[in-house]
Structure 1
Amino acid sequence: MELIDWIVLAGTLAFIVIYGYLKTKGSKDVKEYILGGNDAKWWTIGLSVMATQASAITFLSTPGQAFHDGMGFVQFYFGQPIAMVFICLIFIPIYHKLKVYTAYELLENRFDLKTRKLAAILFLIQRGLAAGITIYAPAIILSAVLGWDLKTLNIIIGILVIIYTVSGGTKAVSVTQKQQMFVIMVGMFTAFYLVLSFLPEDISFGKALKIAGANNKLDILDFSLDTSSRYTFWSGITGGFFLAFAYFGTDQSQVQRYLSGKSVRESQLGLVFNGLFKVPMQFFILLVGVMVFVFYQYNNSPLNFNPAAAAAIENSQYKEEYQHLEKEHEELERKKKMAQEHYSAVLDVKDYEMIVAGKNRIQAINKIEREQREKAREIIEKADPSIETNDKDYVFIHFILNNIPKGLIGLLLAVIFSAAMSSTASELNALGTITTMDLYKRGFRNDRSQKHYLNASRWFTLLWGLVAILFASFGSLVDNLIQLVNIIGSIFYGTVLGIFLVAFFIKFIRGNAVFFGAIVTQLLVILIYYYFIHRYEAGEEKLGYLWLNFIGCALMIVISLFFELLNRSRNVINR
């Protein structure tokens, strides 16, 4: 990185932190700190909700996901717009009517205190883990690529977020996220424009799409009923719907964004905005990854994009074997470039048989390349089992650092840091709020002043920030980071959503049945995850993780219903 990149990166991050601190410091009471004074407009809510969901993992992992597997990942988001409608009609009016600080307050009103605490604890577990990952994800990748110290990066990201989040609370999070979303979108559009400009002169955007299509990167819809497939139309509409329904309806990191709305209408418009633009945004980010794939059809790419892998090979007994594979890869890339140029030429001729022959040739070459990459991963694993061989998270950052002009590298790194800060700030804000209002105030100190709870919220937010940094410092990279966050959410969200649906729609089920039903359900979901997903290699699972959201929700309703009926039958017998 050059001096101009450092100036752009540091200047962007400093502006966001200082602006957020000065704009929102000095909350008068806990209500203003947690709910931001209830004066947020719909566009602030919409952008804040999007920024909370769009972590650095999104902008690091998603392009790499598209590079390797194509556009099919977008199906994951198909259920989200539908979920937004239900949340606008059901959750938002109830939250505003009850004037709650947290999503779990209403569970005490409907059931009892122990159910409220259980839901809060489930949230703290899964969101506490996710907070560490959202710091760790960009830190480990930037550390590997730039040679920066990992723990130092974790501390830098964490402290930047803590400064304005602890100071200004919810309003600071919402205010800074508008700037962060602006930086993110400018950076992604810049990357998209640049990757297209780097393609050969005769390769238009239309031709680039045809080249991507010839390599099966534009296969967006999969209508198969295979439940072991991670991303299908049906898993997106069902599992994706339940995940989004639970995340936006019951996860405090999102609920707190729209609880700060000026009115029910402002909150609803903010979520509708998110529902309308989230799928196109993810589609665009995946498209950037597909265009990076097309770029590497004409330009040399490493056998493995993780630079730590090359370093591990260099100092191992497998060095010569890997170098031989690299020479084969270089020769194959030369053939691939020639095949792509031939395919581009026959597209202009518009001869169907020649186009099909050219497409088949490209697919054959790319099949061999995938086999080479798999051999490379096997060699890397033998050289150093601790090195992450799945390089999806490194593809986009490798493209940025090796091809983007000076100055713009700083901008795109600012995108990654901004995304990390925006999602982490929301999580810390929510974790501090839940700890204060659902556990500390309700369980230990319910007779203190507003000032006391304001200070407690700040201290708990600071504490969770330090916990997130600590977790990030001792985390480990597994598979694809964006999938890891969604897997963690899928394990817990179904149970929590089931609790809320029972609260809203099955009025005769009482607190004890829900409490014990939730415990049993959560244990069953963890067992299902372990035996049908965790024990298998990626792509070989017996069940796609998105289905855990639907299964957890359904089990929660059925089991709590069973406990309620069992309890009533006992009461009848005892009479």
Structure 2
Amino acid sequence: MKRLPIIDLSIIIIYLLAMVIVGLYFSRKNKSSAQYTKASGSIPGWAIGLSIYATFLSSNTFLGVPGKAFGSNWNAFVFSISMPFAAWIASKYFVPFYRKTGEISAYTHLEHRFGSWARTYTVICFLLTQLARMGSIFFGIALSLQALVGYPMSTIMIVMGICIILYTVLGGMEAVIWTEVIQGVIKTLGAFVILYLIINDMPGGISKVLETGNHDDKFSLGAFSPNFVESTFWVVLFYGFFINLNNFGMDQNYIQRYHTATSSKEASKSLWLCVAMYVPASLLFFIIGSSLYSYYQVHPQDIEIVRQQVAGEKLGSLASSHQISQLASTLKPEDYGDKVMPHFMVTKMPAGILGLVISAILSAAMSTISSGMNASATVFTVDIYKRYFKPELSEKKNLQVLYIGTVAFGLLGMGTGIAMIGVKSLLDAWWELSGIFAGGMLGLFLLGIISRQTKNHEALTATIIGIVVILWMTFSTYLPEKYYFLKNPLHKNMVIVIGTLTIFLVGLALTYSKRNFKKRFELVEV
């Protein structure tokens, strides 16, 4: 724990106040739901691209990626390598599709295609995904700030949640996008500052990072063998491709941004700008993680307090110092990777710089949470409230529901973050939860957009089978040993891959079988 110097505290307060002022400034424009949800289609492509980049560059990236690189290697970077493939498909097919429909919700067209159940199912999956995303972001920011201020993580989440809710409710989507443009720049500069401080304070500098990393295999992208049981190169590549395809094709956070662009061309450009910025930026955070690993190999005594802290958390308050020390000596880097970056900030960053970097981490959290709140409120208003309760809403009432929804989802996301306190790896937790909820959404969407002959019954049957497969893959690992033969043998990141393919392929098979059956029946009648 460390009391923040006045200069750092002042920088953080100024940053938070600036975000609220931005929300107040844009609140004057929010006279309609179209302005609140899609900025009336007036945002340039480059700003949307920076906004999407800032959403990707969340505190899961800022803290989770260095923690992952510190604890293992660069296997998770394959996720970023998969992004261009997903972006190509999205820019060529998905962006024109959504711009043509004109629907602000990403899920309205599924009701036209398959019925109300399809829309309801994907909306539920999306909202659960958003709660998992916002919860992991809240948890990540609290994990960092706890080491700096010493307050309980739940208290930090509540204070931050109030600030984020305030500027998001006031400003709407236009405020979210323009603040994310600023936040994207702040985050990137903050990452470079952290890397400079690590390298500058380490004997041997970059050469030492390369030497230690090569010796301990820290730069590996994973095994290239066709092994889907472990986190190999191929497992992460397939996971990354499907989750990014879901992000660009089914996630309301991104679909809503397509509608804020002045044209389809500008919307497609924004995707490619995001990819061009995020891939090297994510590499930067892996370099930071590997540099921290090398740094604490040179200064092992400086990381001992983190090992002691993690051991104490595992054993509880009744454990003796001897028990804590014994457990601490057995801990591996992956057991405390997420705490390394906050520890370095606490102990090694000079006054002033620390405030700037904390502001960068705050911006990483705020951009993702604010966009998630706005998107969730939009989906709730369009796909739930107006669909099932009050189809005809006045403009004033529509805005009121959007405001209430934004606040409600901000509070729910905060509660999810509090519930996540104690997870081992921030990045792993987010990847696992997003894979579970996103698999069914993407499979159903691909079935609807690719196979025009698939009807309601085939899609519903395929979705039910897909949900069963996803649930089995997720929860069969908890079965007792005597039911070992029923356990999912694949890596947990394969849930979204298998879930998506199950719904899509089963739907195609049912459609093909039904068509053949009809043809044979017609021949028999003749």
Structure 2 partner of 1:320: 322
Distance 2:71 2:105 in 1: 40
Q: Secondary structure of the equivalent of 2:335?
A: coil
* 2:435 aligned with 1:490: yes
Structure 1 partner of 2:42: 39
Shift of 1:315: 5.5
Q: Secondary structure of the equivalent of 2:302?
A: coil
AA aligned to 2:230 is: S
AA aligned to 1:224 is: S
Shift of 1:128: 2.1
Structure 2 partner of 1:472: 417
Q: Following superposition, which runs of at least 4 residues in structure 1 exceed 6 angstroms of deviation?
A: 533-536, 570-575
| Structure 1 spans left out of the alignment, 5+ residues | 330-371, 378-388
Shift of 1:105: 1.5
Structure 2 partner of 1:513: 458
* 2:235 aligned with 1:277: no
CA offset digits 1:32-87 (Å, max 9, x no partner):
11111111112211111111122212211211111121222201222111100000
Alignment check: 8 A CA contact 2:476 2:488 kept: no
Structure 2 partner of 1:557: 504
Structure 2 partner of 1:259: 259
Shift of 1:573: 7.6
The answer to which of 420-429 and 274-283 deviates more is 274-283
Alignment check: 8 A CA contact 1:64 1:395 kept: yes
Distance 2:465 2:255 in 1: 26
Structure 1 partner of 2:375: 430
Pick aligned residue for 2:84 from 81, 84, 104 = 81
CA offset digits 1:102-151 (Å, max 9, x no partner):
11122122222221122112211222232222212221443355311322
AA aligned to 2:418 is: S
* 2:24 aligned with 1:21: yes
CA offset digits 1:533-567 (Å, max 9, x no partner):
8999xxx9842233222211110013334554676
CA offset digits 1:326-348 (Å, max 9, x no partner):
7xx6xxxxxxxxxxxxxxxxxxx
Distance 2:447 2:63 in 1: 38
Q: Secondary structure of the equivalent of 2:411?
A: helix
Alignment check: 8 A CA contact 1:46 1:274 kept: yes
Root-mean-square deviation over aligned CA pairs: 2.7
The answer to which of 506-515 and 554-563 deviates more is 554-563
Alignment check: 8 A CA contact 1:137 1:481 kept: yes
Alignment check: 8 A CA contact 1:20 1:175 kept: no
AA aligned to 2:270 is: G
Alignment check: 8 A CA contact 1:145 1:306 kept: no
Structure 2 partner of 1:96: 99
| Structure 2 spans left out of the alignment, 5+ residues | 482-486
Structure 1 partner of 2:446: 501
Aligned residues: 512
Shift of 1:571: 12
Alignment check: 8 A CA contact 1:21 1:163 kept: no
Shift of 1:408: 1.3
Superposed, which structure 2 residues align to 1:44-63 within 5 Å? 44-63=47-66
Structure 2 partner of 1:239: 239
Shift of 1:276: 2.1
Pick aligned residue for 1:406 from 332, 343, 351 = 351
Shift of 1:311: 5.0
Alignment check: 8 A CA contact 1:75 1:220 kept: yes
Shift of 1:277: 2.3
Distance 1:423 1:295 in 2: 30
Structure 1 partner of 2:298: 298
Distance 2:478 2:252 in 1: 27
TM-score, scaled to structure 2: 0.90
Distance 1:211 1:297 in 2: 8
Larger Rg over CA atoms: 1
Structure 1 partner of 2:229: 228
Shift of 1:219: 1.8
AA aligned to 1:83 is: A
Distance 1:492 1:148 in 2: 32
AA aligned to 1:439 is: I
AA aligned to 2:321 is: K
AA aligned to 1:222 is: A
Distance 1:556 1:178 in 2: 37
Structure 1 partner of 2:152: 149
Superposed, which structure 2 residues align to 1:291-370 within 5 Å? 291-299=291-299, 300-303=301-304, 305=306, 308-309=309-310, 316-323=318-325
Structure 2 partner of 1:346: none
AA aligned to 2:425 is: N
Structure 2 partner of 1:161: 164
Shift of 1:511: 2.0
* 2:335 aligned with 1:390: yes
Superposed, which structure 2 residues align to 1:176-187 within 5 Å? 176-187=179-190
Distance 2:283 2:262 in 1: 31
CA offset digits 1:355-378 (Å, max 9, x no partner):
xxxxxxxxxxxxxxxxx325xx9x
Pick aligned residue for 2:491 from 539, 544, 561 = 544
Indicate how the Cα distance of structure 1 residues 405 and 515 shifts in structure 2: closer, same or farther if over 3 A, else same.
same
Alignment check: 8 A CA contact 1:304 1:391 kept: no
Q: Secondary structure of the equivalent of 2:492?
A: coil
Indicate how the Cα distance of structure 1 residues 124 and 324 shifts in structure 2: closer, same or farther if over 3 A, else same.
closer
Distance 2:234 2:418 in 1: 37
Q: Secondary structure of the equivalent of 2:306?
A: coil
Distance 1:108 1:177 in 2: 32
Distance 1:9 1:163 in 2: 16
AA aligned to 2:216 is: N
Q: Secondary structure of the equivalent of 1:440?
A: helix
* 2:193 aligned with 1:190: yes
Indicate how the Cα distance of structure 1 residues 154 and 43 shifts in structure 2: closer, same or farther if over 3 A, else same.
same
Distance 2:115 2:439 in 1: 20
* 2:160 aligned with 1:213: no
Alignment check: 8 A CA contact 2:312 2:324 kept: no
Q: Secondary structure of the equivalent of 2:303?
A: coil
Structure 1 partner of 2:71: 68
Distance 1:4 1:204 in 2: 29
Indicate how the Cα distance of structure 1 residues 324 and 125 shifts in structure 2: closer, same or farther if over 3 A, else same.
closer
Q: Secondary structure of the equivalent of 1:40?
A: coil
Indicate how the Cα distance of structure 1 residues 473 and 35 shifts in structure 2: closer, same or farther if over 3 A, else same.
same
Distance 1:314 1:128 in 2: 29
AA aligned to 2:244 is: A
What is the identity percentage for the equivalent residue pairs of Structure 1 and Structure 2? 27
Indicate how the Cα distance of structure 1 residues 573 and 176 shifts in structure 2: closer, same or farther if over 3 A, else same.
same
Distance 1:432 1:400 in 2: 35
Q: Secondary structure of the equivalent of 2:262?
A: coil
Q: Secondary structure of the equivalent of 2:30?
A: coil
Distance 1:534 1:12 in 2: 49
Pick aligned residue for 1:373 from 327, 331, 344 = 331
AA aligned to 2:503 is: M
Structure 2 partner of 1:11: 14
Alignment check: 8 A CA contact 1:533 1:543 kept: no
Shift of 1:437: 0.5
Shift of 1:158: 1.1
Alignment check: 8 A CA contact 2:52 2:271 kept: yes
Distance 1:185 1:262 in 2: 27
